[in-house]
């Protein structure tokens, strides 16, 4: 695995070493020892899989009492994955990282605890898998409006499909509860 730090040092793009032959391919999508060596959280307690159609935008979500670090990859299709630093006092507070993840490029995005996460589906459909460092707790669910002007995220998509819940999320400046740096 190759680890590449982004403009927010705690967020990493991970490119697996893929072994191809006439049967197909093989790669390691996670190896505890390598994550430890690269000083990334390696204790994952929950895996999630989400299927979506083209144009679906999910997020920007986070948890506060049970913060979730995530290792995200597109198993089918292509997505634009976004991590936003929402840690009060962080030098990169309000900044984001945007990465194209696809079944073809096999890249993964490591998003540590203290970040909001969301993605937009670019392909006809996608299946996204992500490992989480903490459990999902419906009572600890928070979010930031996907098109918050202060975040300045260019989704480059005219009319995404967004859940009613996500459409009604507050902007970053209206958040009452944010993690500390």
Active-site residue set: 61, 130
Distance CA 115, CA 84 (A): 5
Let me know: does 102 contact 130? Beta carbons within 8 Å: no
Distance CA 108, CA 13 (A): 6
Rounded to the nearest angstrom, the gap between the alpha carbon of residue 113 and the centroid of all alpha carbons in its chain is 11
How many residues are there in the chain? 181
Q: Which residues of 36-61 are buried (b: 16+ CB within 10 A; e: fewer)?
A: eeeebbbebeeeeeeebebebbbbbb
One DSSP character per residue, 58-81 reads EEEEEESSS---EEEEEEESEEEE
């Amino acid at each position: 695995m190759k680890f590449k730090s982004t403009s927010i040092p705690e967020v990493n793009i991970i490119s697996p070493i893929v072994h191809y032959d006439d049967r197909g391919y093989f790669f390691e999508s996670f190896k505890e020892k390598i994550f430890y060596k690269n000083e990334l959280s390696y204790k994952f307690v929950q895996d999630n899989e989400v299927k979506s159609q083209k144009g679906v935008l999910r997020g920007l979500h986070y948890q506060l009492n049970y913060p979730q670090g995530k290792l995200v990859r597109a198993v089918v299709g292509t997505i634009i994955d976004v991590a936003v630093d929402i840690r009060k006092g962080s030098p990169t507070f309000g900044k984001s990282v945007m990465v194209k993840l696809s079944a073809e490029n096999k890249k993964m995005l490591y998003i540590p605890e203290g970040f909001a996460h969301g993605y937009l589906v670019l392909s006809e459909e996608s299946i996204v898998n992500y490992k989480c460092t903490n459990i999902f707790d419906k009572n600890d669910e928070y979010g930031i409006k996907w098109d918050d002007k202060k975040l300045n995220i260019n989704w480059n998509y005219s009319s995404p499909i967004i859940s009613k819940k996500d459409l009604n999320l507050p902007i970053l400046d209206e958040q009452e509860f944010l993690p500390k740096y």
